[in-house]
Amino acid sequence: MVERQVRSAVVTGASTGIGEATVRRLAQEGWKVWAVARRGERLEQLAGDTGAIPVALDITDDGGVARMVEQVAAAGGIDTLINIAGGARGTDWVADARTDDWEWMYNVNVLGTMKLTRAFLPMLREHGEGTVLNLTSTAALVSYEGGAGYNAAKAAQRAMTRALRLEEVENNLRVIEVLPGMVYTEEFSLNRLGSEEAAEKVYAGVEKPLTAEDIADIVAYAVSVPHHVNLDEIVVRPVAQAAAHKVVRKG
């Protein structure tokens, strides 16, 4: 009998939302998973539930990233990097833009993704059939009032993803982008808007917005199909959201 090779991945943003759901889904399917996020206590609970390896880390910290790569390499390495860490802050128009919010969004969504990818590329190239999946957003495709900072950060992350696909094809590296629309998660809108009341209004009246588990299912499928199959770009929205400007709300 041929022994089945265990797939292995680093998943960022693993302490909540889509990142956490992705860790749970991959672990359920038998993957070896490093779960990466800043909040170590949440990771420890996730590790207890799933068997994932917790790595408490700020992905923008170069030294921390380098130490994690060493840790992963010593444990056998990975074939897949899943960059989910990111987020939005504020809804200010450009005229009232808060520099701190814009810098945070760029650092986490763009520089964090770049630093993780840059650090793991040698390992993924050496594997021969490596995969990088970046979670961006439909905010990268369509701009809207009050979204300029997030639009800009996600558009930059998308541009980097598309360039990476061109740069690494000679190394047989598969590069996937998943672009979710309206996803109801525990913290995304709360962190962006600052209050439970404001966060709930985002989803008010929307029948069946997407869930973190919905996106985790798509991520898991995209990285599990045979390596020669590359789902370059996956745009996913709830049925109620026909477009960024067209959302059906009932009641």
pLDDT digits (tens, 9 = 90+) for 106-162: 999 999 999 999 999 999 999 999 999 999 999 999 999 999 999 999 999 999 999
- The answer to pTM > 0.85 is yes
Query: Over the chain, what is the mean pLDDT?
Result: 92
Token pair recorded at residue 117 = 């990818």
- CA–CA dist 81, 133 (Å, integer): 6
Dist. CA 85–CA 89, nearest whole Å: 14
Q: Would you please indicate which residues are annotated as catalytic (active-site) residues? A: 150
pLDDT reported for residue 5: 76
Integer Cα distance of 151 and 163 in angstroms: 18
Please determine, for residue 104, whether its predicted confidence score (pLDDT) is greater than 50.
Answer: yes
Q: Which CATH number fits domain 8-247: 3.40.50.1820, 3.90.1530.10, 3.90.870.10, 3.40.50.720?
A: 3.40.50.720
Domain-by-domain residue ranges, the chain?
8-247
Please check the confidence at residue 3 and state whether its pLDDT lies above 70. Answer: no
Torsional class of 49: left (φ above 0), alpha (ψ -120 to 50), beta (otherwise): alpha
The pLDDT of residue 1 is: 34
